[in-house]
């Protein structure tokens, strides 16, 4: 005998909430079960955040919530309505790229580019919290992000170059405030990968 089915009235199938994304307020009506990734891509047309494994394993969907890396594929959008969300679209200022974006382009740290938004945001969170990271700290901070193209070395070098440039400016930051760094929240994606050599396509 089949179980009874309960269907909410239509009014309950749409959530209405305000999200702050890249410094802009967005009033959104959406299906309340949507992930943050779906909300960003489908409701806000911010497709710079990439859709990868949807299992919390690749890091390509990484965004920042109050400065902390979050895997948007695993995050219920409604839970982030009070956070300041930052996506890759918010990194540049007009025609001026963030130093991380410049360094990635200069050093060939982006090839196909699919992983790049996630790496950029994870690296930004790191540099905001720690303007002079060691190579080991960079490897650790990016250990939840996978790349099939670059072999990782150029990505690590690009983060180091950006850190040098940001440091040379005197503030160590990009002028948009510092984040609290990586929190051990269960939504941050930082598992551990051992070393530079073991990270390859």
Q: Where on the chain is the footprint of ligand FES (CB under 6 A)?
A: 51-54, 56-61, 71, 73, 110-115, 147-150
Consecutive H or E run containing 30: strand 24-30
Residue closer to ligand FES by CB (options 93, 148) is: 148
Residue closer to ligand FES by CB (options 140, 173) is: 140
Q: How far is CA 125 from the centre of its chain?
A: 9
Residue closer to ligand FES by CB (options 111, 178) is: 111
Minimum distance from CB of 52 to ligand FES (Å)?
Answer: 3
Minimum distance from CB of 56 to ligand FES (Å)?
Answer: 5
15 φ/ψ angles, rounded to the nearest 5 degrees = -100, 150
Other beta carbons within 10 angstroms of residue 102's beta carbon come to 16
Nearest residue to 88 via CA among 62, 59, 55, 111: 62
SS (H, E, C) 104-126: HHHHCCCCCCCCHHHHHHHHHHH
Distance CA 28, CA 99 (A): 32
Minimum distance from CB of 12 to ligand FES (Å)?
Answer: 28
Residue closer to ligand FES by CB (options 42, 172) is: 42
Minimum distance from CB of 127 to ligand FES (Å)?
Answer: 19
Nearest residue to 163 via CA among 116, 115, 128: 128
Minimum distance from CB of 11 to ligand FES (Å)?
Answer: 31
Residue closer to ligand FES by CB (options 76, 173) is: 76
Distance CA 13, CA 23 (A): 28
Residue closer to ligand FES by CB (options 56, 167) is: 56
CB 87 within 8 A of CB 118: no
């Amino acid at each position: 005998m089949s179980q009874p089915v309960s269907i909410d009235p239509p009014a309950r199938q749409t959530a209405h909430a305000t999200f702050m994304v890249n410094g802009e307020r967005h009033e959104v009506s959406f299906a309340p079960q949507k992930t943050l990734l779906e909300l960003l891509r489908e409701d806000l047309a911010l497709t710079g955040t990439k859709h990868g494994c949807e299992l919390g394993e690749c890091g390509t969907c990484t965004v920042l919530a109050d400065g902390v890396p979050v895997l948007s594929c695993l995050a219920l959008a409604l839970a982030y309505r009070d956070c300041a969300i930052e996506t890759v679209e918010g990194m540049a200022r007009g025609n001026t790229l963030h130093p991380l974006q410049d360094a990635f382009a200069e050093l060939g740290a982006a090839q196909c580019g699919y992983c790049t938004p996630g790496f950029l945001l994870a690296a930004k969170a790191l540099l905001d919290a720690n303007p002079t990271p060691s190579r080991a700290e960079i490897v650790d901070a990016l250990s939840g992000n996978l790349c099939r193209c670059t072999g990782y070395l150029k990505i690590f070098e690009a983060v180091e170059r950006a850190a040098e440039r940001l440091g040379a400016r005197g503030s160590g930051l990009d002028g948009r405030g510092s984040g609290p760094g990586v929190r051990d929240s269960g939504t941050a994606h930082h598992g551990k990968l051992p070393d530079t050599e073991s990270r390859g396509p």
